């Protein structure tokens, strides 16, 4: 260990001298350094190319993957939970109004909207389960919610079968509602979310948490956790920032090194330009476009975070309820669908579509460029040695 610490300063000094030789141009008169110059470039340029390609490619692919995950997983799950919650609350009011008709419900049955909304709620819960956005624990909790929805329907059916007995009817309806919504807190419901619209406040005043027992509270708890993970996914992580910064430094050094090497080849080997090195440097032209694409994707992800908050905070059964719903029909494009469409539009606009599918090829392109650079510089160095061998100063 002591020997390693003693060897560290000389190694660091050698690295700094090599970096100095790489960054600063060699005077043309110093022919003794030409072979060493080519040797330094033979090591530095391919190494910088590999480092820049791997770091930049990983960071860019991560940002692109985040957008795809938000679009294909998190967003459908949040929309499905919001749709299920509002559908269940709309169905609950429909059941109460149908049961209030008394014995007539035995002949006509519960309203078609009740059937439509309960079916739609189950469908949305199943879609959330297939979205892949939930953890194992959350998936288990969603299964509990689905089971409670079935039990809720059983108690509504019990109230319907005993509609002639007001006591049993009210008991069945009351128990079903207690499974759906917990008792509202003491705070008054906000305007547009209370009894004035026929939909009493369902969430407790303190919000939902891990101790949630009612269906809507459990759904709200899942929404809160899912939004937190969505925000974490949309935020640039420390590893992405570190990889991006590392890649930026490597790309600057690489671009400078490529230019200085072309100058050297022009003066020392009397070539107007090195075509192989020029081809190896072509991937650098894509860096500004890939960077712009990544910035657009990150900005779109931040917009999705704001939209996800609106989906949970602004949507209400009163807004989502429509009069002309048909059984098993698609819901009208009201607020939830509007916010879903806006988020998807943001994600679609937050990219350069011509670069779709490019992310997996960034690192391979860098490796090819590094190999081409190494082969070319090795050939130039060998040619220089052969030229200078017959009595010339190397």
pLDDT tens track for 353-372 = 888 889 999 999 999 999 99
pLDDT tens track for 130-186 = 998 999 999 999 999 999 999 999 998 888 888 888 888 888 888 888 888 875 433
Mean pLDDT of 64-68: 93
DSSP letter for 287, please: H
Residue 63 has pLDDT above 50, yes or no: yes
CA distance 143 to 105: 31
pLDDT of residue 316: 79
22 pLDDT band (50/70/90 cuts)? low
pLDDT tens track for 310-335 = 988 888 787 777 655 554 455 555 78
pLDDT of residue 9: 65
pLDDT of residue 151: 92
* % the chain with pLDDT above 90: 40
CA distance 260 to 262: 5
SS3 sequence of the chain: CHHHHHHHHHHHHHHHHHHHHHHCCCCCCCHHHHHHHHHHHHHHHHHHHHHHHHHHHHHHHHHHHHHHHHHHHHHHHHHHHHHHHHHHHHHHHHHHHHHHCCCHHHHHCCCHHHHHHHHHHHHHHHHHHHCCCCCHHHHHHHHHHHHHHHHHHHHHHHHHHCCCCHHHHHHHHHHHHHHHCCCCCCCCCCCCCCHHHCCCCCCCCCCCCCCCCCHHHHHHHHHHHHHHHHHHHHCCCHHHHHHHHHHHHHHHHHHHHHHHHHHHHHHHCCCCCCHHHHHHHHHHHHHHHHHHHHHHHHHHHHHHHHHHHHHHHCCCHHHHCCCCCCCCCCCCCCHHHHHHHHHHHHHHHCCCHHHCCCHHHHHHHHHHHHHHHHHHHHHHHHHHHHHHCCCCCC
Q: What is the pTM of this model?
A: 0.79
Residue 197 has pLDDT above 60, yes or no: no
Residue 291 has pLDDT above 60, yes or no: yes
Name the token pair of 79: 């929309």
392 pLDDT band (50/70/90 cuts)? very low
* % the chain with pLDDT above 70: 76
């Amino acid at each position: 260990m002591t020997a390693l610490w003693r060897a560290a300063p000389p190694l660091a000094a050698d690295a700094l001298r090599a970096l100095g030789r790489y960054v600063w141009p060699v005077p043309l008169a110093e022919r003794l350094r030409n072979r060493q110059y080519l040797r330094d470039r033979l090591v530095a340029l391919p190494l910088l190319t590999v480092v820049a390609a791997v770091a930049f490619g990983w960071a860019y692919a991560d940002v692109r993957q985040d957008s795809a995950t938000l679009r294909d997983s998190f967003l459908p799950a949040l929309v499905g939970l919001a749709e299920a919650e509002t559908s269940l609350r709309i169905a609950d009011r429909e059941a109460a109004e149908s049961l209030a008709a008394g014995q007539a419900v035995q002949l006509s049955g519960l309203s078609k909207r009740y059937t439509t909304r309960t079916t739609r709620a189950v469908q949305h819960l199943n879609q959330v389960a297939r979205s892949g956005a939930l953890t194992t624990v959350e998936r288990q909790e969603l299964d509990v919610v689905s089971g409670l929805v079935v039990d809720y329907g059983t108690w509504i059916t019990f109230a319907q079968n005993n509609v002639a007995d007001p006591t049993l009817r009210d008991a069945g309806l009351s128990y079903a509602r207690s499974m759906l919504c917990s008792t509202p807190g003491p705070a008054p419901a906000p305007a547009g979310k209370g009894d004035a619209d026929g939909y009493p406040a369902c969430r407790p005043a303190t919000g939902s948490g891990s101790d949630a027992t009612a269906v809507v509270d459990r759904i709200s708890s899942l929404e809160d956790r899912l939004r937190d993970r969505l925000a974490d996914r949309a935020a640039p992580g420390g590893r992405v920032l570190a990889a991006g910064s590392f890649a930026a430094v490597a790309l600057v050094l690489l671009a400078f090194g490529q230019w200085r090497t072309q100058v050297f080849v022009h003066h020392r080997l009397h070539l107007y330009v090195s075509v192989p090195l020029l081809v190896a440097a072509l991937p650098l032209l894509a860096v500004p476009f890939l960077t712009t694409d990544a910035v657009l994707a990150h900005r779109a992800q931040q917009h999705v975070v704001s939209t996800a908050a609106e989906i949970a905070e602004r949507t209400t059964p009163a807004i989502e309820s429509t009069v002309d719903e048909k059984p098993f029909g698609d819901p009208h494009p009201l607020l939830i669908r509007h916010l879903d469409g806006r988020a998807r539009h943001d994600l679609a606009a937050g990219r350069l579509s011509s670069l779709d599918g490019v992310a997996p090829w960034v690192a391979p392109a860098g490796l090819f460029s590094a190999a081409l650079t190494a082969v070319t510089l090795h050939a130039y160095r060998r040619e220089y040695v052969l030229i200078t061998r017959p009595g010339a100063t190397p």
